Structure 1
């Protein structure tokens, strides 16, 4: 038996909105300590990994490990039927071929039930090695989303140049070129508005903006985004997932995206 009850059902909505345009079919791996999903995008260029801890649920029961394969677009359509303040419960039997979704209104005056058929997916869980990154950038997620969107008007790729005094995002195309430079603002009054850069050495890498714009759809989940870079390894774009408790928010999981640098990044001079 598997049952997971999420008081703030809107979190699940935001997670699906952040990944469904990258990954069509995927499997949720359900274990006693939480739920996780890992899948390549349809073109096998980017990898997305989602983790939700059991502690983040109001109720969580997983009697044995389960793999729930499903179409994320279909799941997203059903989840959108829930109001933003609804409680969402996911239920699945040990050997069933479907899951049940329950949407409960806050006043408990309305309960909606839906069933979704499960899929048998050939999915291989990729072991992502622990990597020590040369550069870590922590910045407002809304600012990262705006930079990716704006530079997409100029070119197809963004070159990220990291130095001690700041980070520069640049793009070049037929139209011309553009760049946006951010300085460290670690002393800002609001933590979510700070830009923090930790680096061991200067680094310049280029990445496809098409994918970064997909990643930025996770912006509603977190006020800040973390970028991790090292030579010859994929970029990590991480969004921490917190509950919706305004007074004492707690981290309940994350979304991480992985994207390999463009091959010609060394030829781009910022």
Structure 2
């Protein structure tokens, strides 16, 4: 019995979308280690292998090795019924002719169950020999997809050259030619990013120091203001005492004395209100400074995440100069795996099939493409 539980259906949907136009029918070989698929296209020019390790599933159980023969178009239709974030459960009994797919929604109690008929497919598993390639190119998968898409507008084939200068993609069409060169940028990007991080850290430290200085100045100003207010209050009290002593000897009106007292009390109350307003305004000024510090930390976190999840640089490892020509039609199909990984690895040797590899989570998808020979 097979029971495999994927945390997100999007992984399986992207895998099938990437190979459905290259392969029509194929066997998923299930065993204790996971799911494996190997199939060739109808013209026997390209080979695709898919590996999904058991550790990549939320729950995985396979009692004995068993093949699951599926039609890619039918499986694509069933997978379209699932949302990307749905939990996908694959079930198949021993010697069963039906594959059960269950989709569990995360935010609701919705559970959808589908059954797809399995096929008996006679396919021989090819032994892929371990090959030591003369050139290895690691580059952003989006850049590879763009190059292949652009050059396919000009011609039917592309010549890939790996040299000390970099990796060059050349397409010669009837009406126009294209030539794209990518130089190695992996090492400089890392050093540049580290220096940028240092500079950003220093600037952040300076801004924090300025903020603390401004807070200290505001506190000093507040203390000076409180001292001035105290002095004013003491002067006002002394003036009250003097006037009261003078009023005993003078026979003035009591109404004038009451008016003087009210004016002084109003002034004292006004000064106290001003003091309260100054204190509240100083607190308001301090709040943005305090709230500003976490904002700076958030910026740092975002920048670090952007560096980690940012575009992959071009890395080239070469033992000797390699030049091979391939069909752009197949490379276009390979580039559909861009949704699975941000980087792609091209492995090349003269007179040896090209290896295009995408790694995703606990699995990979690899394509092998035979080179064109002569004018073919």
TM over 0.5: yes
More strand by share: 1
User: 1: CA distance between counterparts of 2:106 and 2:165?
Assistant: 49
Residue in structure 1 matched with residue 324 of structure 2 by the alignment? 205
Equivalent positions of 1:90-239 (< 5 A) are 90-187=90-187, 188=189, 189=193, 190=307, 192-239=311-358
Residue in structure 1 matched with residue 40 of structure 2 by the alignment? 40
Task: Spell out structure 1 runs of 4+ moving beyond 3 A.
Answer: 189-192
User: 2: CA distance between counterparts of 1:72 and 1:122?
Assistant: 16
Number of residue equivalences: 257
User: 1: CA distance between counterparts of 2:128 and 2:117?
Assistant: 30
More helix by share: 2
User: 2: CA distance between counterparts of 1:192 and 1:30?
Assistant: 34
Q: Which is worse superposed, 105-114 or 186-195?
A: 186-195
User: 2: CA distance between counterparts of 1:72 and 1:31?
Assistant: 21
Residue by residue over 1:120-139, the C-alpha shift from the partner in whole angstroms, topping out at 9 and shown as x without a partner, is: 00110000011110000000
SS at match of 1:193: coil
Residue in structure 1 matched with residue 279 of structure 2 by the alignment? none
Are 1:264 and 2:374 an aligned pair?
Answer: yes
User: 2: CA distance between counterparts of 1:206 and 1:219?
Assistant: 22
Whether the 8 Å CA contact 1:171–1:179 is kept in 2: the answer is yes
Residue in structure 2 matched with residue 23 of structure 1 by the alignment? 23
How far the C-alpha of 1:150 sits from its partner, in A, is 0.2
User: 1: CA distance between counterparts of 2:95 and 2:168?
Assistant: 52
- Bigger relative contact order, structure 1 or 2 (CA pairs below 8 A, ≥6 apart): 2
How far the C-alpha of 1:108 sits from its partner, in A, is 4.7
Q: Which runs of 5+ in 2 are unaligned?
A: 194-306
Instruction: Provide the TM-score with structure 2 as the length reference.
Output: 0.67
SS at match of 1:114: strand
Residue in structure 1 matched with residue 228 of structure 2 by the alignment? none
User: 1: CA distance between counterparts of 2:59 and 2:374?
Assistant: 49
Whether the 8 Å CA contact 1:34–1:51 is kept in 2: the answer is yes
How far the C-alpha of 1:165 sits from its partner, in A, is 2.3
User: 2: CA distance between counterparts of 1:158 and 1:200?
Assistant: 22
How far the C-alpha of 1:107 sits from its partner, in A, is 2.4
- RMSD, aligned CA: 1.2
Aligned partner (choices 233, 247, 255) of residue 365 of structure 2: 255
User: 2: CA distance between counterparts of 1:103 and 1:112?
Assistant: 5
Whether the 8 Å CA contact 1:51–1:254 is kept in 2: the answer is yes
Q: Which is worse superposed, 140-149 or 171-180?
A: 171-180
Structure whose CA Rg is larger: 2
Equivalent positions of 1:30-69 (< 5 A) are 30-69=30-69
User: 1: CA distance between counterparts of 2:176 and 2:311?
Assistant: 32
User: 2: CA distance between counterparts of 1:68 and 1:26?
Assistant: 8
User: 1: CA distance between counterparts of 2:133 and 2:108?
Assistant: 48
User: 2: CA distance between counterparts of 1:80 and 1:16?
Assistant: 11
User: 2: CA distance between counterparts of 1:6 and 1:61?
Assistant: 12
Residue by residue over 1:171-219, the C-alpha shift from the partner in whole angstroms, topping out at 9 and shown as x without a partner, is: 0011121110000001324564200000100111100000000000000
How far the C-alpha of 1:233 sits from its partner, in A, is 1.2
SS at match of 1:184: coil
Q: Which runs of 5+ in 1 are unaligned?
A: 243-251
